[in-house]
Amino acid sequence: MDKKYTNDLIHETSLYLLQHAHNPVNWYSWSQNTLSLAKKLDKPILLSIGYSACHWCHVMERESFEDMETAEFMNENFINIKVDREERPDIDSIYMDAVQILTGSGGWPLNVFLTPDAIPFYGGTYFPPKQSYNRPSWMDVLKFISEVWKTNPIKAEDQAQKLLDHIQSLTTAFSIVSKVENIEKSEFTGLQCNELNSTFLKSADKIFGGFGSAPKFPQTFTLQFLLAYGKFYNCQESIDHALLSLKSMLRGGIYDHLAGGLCRYSTDEKWLAPHFEKMLYDNALLIIVLSEAYQICKDEEIKKGIEKTITFCENELKSKDGGYFAAIDADSEGEEGKFYIWDKTEIESVLGEESSEFIDYYGITEKGNWEGMNILNKCHHFNTHIYKSDVDDLLRRIAICEKKLLSHRNKRIRPVTDDKIILSWNAIYLTALCKASAALKEEKYKVCAEELFYFLESKFFKSNGQLNHSYKNSELKFMAYLDDYAYLIQSCILLQELTGNQKYLDCAKSYTQYVIDNFSQESSDFFYYTDQKQDDIILRKLDNYDSALPSGNSVMAFNLKYLSEIFQIEGWKAQSIKMLNSIYPFAIKHTNSFAFWCFQIINQSVENYQIVITGKENSEMRSSVNEMYIPNKVLQSTETERKYPLLDGKRISEYSSQMHICGEKMCYEPQQSLTLIRLLTKN
């Protein structure tokens, strides 16, 4: 069907940008040509940033960007640029900082007004078509900004310069601390970790799990910290809260009980009503922390959570090429969550006589639990004892019902899948597959992990160590960012631990050297978010905050430390220590913003172990070590290889495998059993 309007976005591959290609707004993509046009016409830029799975992005599009009167005003007075935040997280980060400085909060859609030089001077998030929610209308904002630019552009430019200075100061703050803190210190104490643990637990919801009140996000890095603290410092309270949080999520409506997969966040404290978008990275991070939890507790519910979440990713996010798509939208047929919710009579119709216990099990009612409909959940306490059969039989019947309902649900109009493939998100899912394979001793996940690595290596590598960020329809776009490299390096490290194949370490070393050569900041030990070759942004930022994903710098701190021991590069170890010491003053004050950093700090606070497994048929011993919870280890294994520093001089038997264990203060006699490593690591 012919569209009445078509704008410049029609030439893009991003689903989000294509969704706006037929708006009457004359949208442009972010490019040097567009920025030059703004300067030539001396018009302010309206930069609107969002992503395809964003519910409120869709709302604002329907209300304002598809409105002809609004579009005409925007076209006449602004150069209108649309950006997919998942394609250009560097742009999003700069202008999100600006809006947070201006308003104290941020989110998407992100709407920012810029000078023709692309410097921000005003902005916000969602604006309604009419004044409501204590927000001005979108047209009121447009008219106000247009008038300011026409009558007093100097005022706007002054505001822009102040904002730019403030954004730059955020980077400078980390740089200054990096130089004045005691960089020689290499150890963190149990007392410091106890303080971090206490801070995290102060906000813990002891009833429903998680932290704080609604809305609730998974905060998987915080749960990783609690598991590590509980294990290293014998604190059962920390482990219990991590397990409570994970099980509450797996039982709640935030988790899709039919197909698997975690939604973005819960709108309530009980994990019942989610924001229904599903992101690849959220599910990868869930698999990672579930795998670490399973290594500690061997809980069957946790194991099923790992398996079902991987099944979701394989069934619903995997491309024919072998990579994994970015996200599944929250909306279908113009309504949030419509694909996932149920009316009680529909369930009864599909399941017939089998519906009764399923309805009890999942808390289904005539009234519903969300806007008159039902979100499947196990938040309530289901009494299995009322059934004559045992629990295992009940769960088998429930599973049969789930398959029937899933088959029925799949006939509905599905939410749109954002089919771009992002390197960093795929790399963190690769890490998740490695973690799951290790924890469960599951070969098929290792196969999936290696296949994914080959896909990433073949599709995203450009030349001379340079990678790209996004892939779709055989087209690569945008230079890779710090987190693309950091997550890929981390996944290479774990692949080597899992498989014993040393080539993954060589890849990790090569990409690390590229990061050092092209992302290093002159005035600190941290790395810029963008490659030095990138030239279409107003500044290069340091990104040290752990938000929905761990910061590239926090992951690089881990990578540098690990690889320094593998390759005996003291400078890399020193840099990692300096990074951790520089971040600690910020982490102790704002733990939630530095949770993955805190996880690195706690691993640094205890003795680290170098474990080398040598000899023929060493795979079983390697697999058994990987099954254990030892986040503070460096692991290498070989049958004959000696060229790596850790392998040099190690005894290699032709007849049996041996384990060589070194701590920070001593090395032990070669071991032919797991007894010593279990004793040392409390496994």
pLDDT tens digits, one per residue of 607-617: 999 999 998 88
Q: How far apart are CA 304 and CA 250, in angstroms?
A: 10
Looking at the structure, tell me whether residues 67 and 112 fall in a common domain.
Answer: yes
What per-residue confidence (pLDDT) applies to 203? 95
Same domain? For 32 and 155 the reply is yes
pLDDT at 646 over 70: yes
Domain boundary among 606, 638, 673: 606
Do both 300 and 425 map to the same domain? yes
Total number of domains in the chain: 4
**Does residue 179 lie within any of the structural domains?**
no
Residue 629 C-beta-side C-alpha neighbours within 13 Å: 23
Residue ending a domain, choose from 411, 441, 458: 411
Element containing residue 160 per DSSP (H, E):
helix 153-180
Mean pLDDT computed over 626-647: 91
Whether 137 and 207 share a structural domain? no
Q: What token pair was written down for 326? A: 């970015």
Q: Which residues of 437-463 are buried (b: 16+ CB within 10 A; e: fewer)?
A: bbbbebeebbebbbebbebbeebbbee
Please report the pLDDT score of residue 269 as a whole number: 95
Q: Do 78 and 53 share a structural domain? A: yes
Question: How many alpha carbons fall within 13 Å on the CB side of residue 610?
Answer: 20
Rounded Cα distance, 360 and 526, in Å: 53
pLDDT over threshold 60, residue 647: yes
Q: Are residues 637 and 579 in the same domain?
A: no
180 belongs to a structural domain: no
CATH value at residue 599: 1.50.10.10
pLDDT at 380 over 80: no
Q: What percent of the chain has pLDDT over 90?
A: 85
Are 282 and 402 contained in the same domain? no
Interval 260-265 mean pLDDT: 97
Are residues 372 and 470 located together in one domain of the fold? no
- Confidence (pLDDT) at 184: 47
Three-point CA angle 75, 8, 325, nearest 5°: 125
**Taking residues 56-64, what's their average pLDDT?**
94
Between strands 79-84 and 110-114, the pairing is unpaired
Residue 310, pLDDT score: 98
Whether 207 and 170 map to the same domain: the answer is no
Q: Which of 371, 377, 368 is nearest to 345 (CA)?
A: 368
Q: Is residue 181 part of a domain?
A: no
> How far is the C-alpha of 61 from the C-alpha of 106, rounded, in Å?
18
Q: What is the per-residue pLDDT for 628?
A: 98
The answer to whether residues 211 and 249 belong to one domain is: yes
Residue where one domain finishes, among candidates 349, 378, 411:
411
Model confidence pLDDT, tens digit, residues 489-516: 999 999 999 999 999 999 999 999 999 9
Decide if 490 contacts 426 (C-beta within 8 A): no
Q: Judge if 279 and 317 occupy the same domain.
A: yes
Q: How many residues are present in the chain?
A: 683
Mean model confidence pLDDT for the chain: 93
In a domain, 536, yes or no: yes
In whole angstroms, give the CA distance from residue 461 to residue 308.
31
Of 261-270, 379-388, 638-647, give the lowest mean pLDDT range. Answer: 379-388
Instruction: Please compute the mean of the pLDDT values over residues 149-159 and round it to a whole number.
Output: 93
Residue 91 lies inside a defined structural domain of this protein: yes
Q: Does pLDDT of 153 surpass 70?
A: yes
Give the list of residues 6+ apart from residue 155 with CB closer than 8 angstroms, or none.
Answer: 148
pTM tops 0.75: yes
Of residues 603 and 462, more confidently modeled? 603
**Nearest 10 degrees: Cα torsion 343, 346, 351, 353:** 90
Same domain, yes or no: 651 and 531: no
Which structural domain, as residue segments, surrounds residue 262?
190-333+418-606
pLDDT, one tens digit per residue, over 201-256 is 999 999 999 999 999 999 999 999 999 999 999 999 999 999 999 999 999 999 99
Predicted pLDDT of residue 180: 44
Instruction: Answer whether residue 134 is part of any domain.
Output: yes
Q: Where are the alpha helices (DSSP H) in 418-519?
A: 423-440, 443-460, 482-499, 503-519
- 115 lies in some domain: yes
3-state DSSP assignment of residue 601: helix
Q: Could you tell me what percent of the chain has a pLDDT over 70?
A: 96
Beta carbons within 8 Å of 595's beta carbon, 6+ residues apart: 200, 219, 221, 222, 224, 225, 546
Lowest mean pLDDT among 40-44, 95-99, 132-136, 196-200: 132-136
Average pLDDT over residues 445-468: 93
CB 218 within 8 A of CB 262: yes
210 falls within a domain? yes
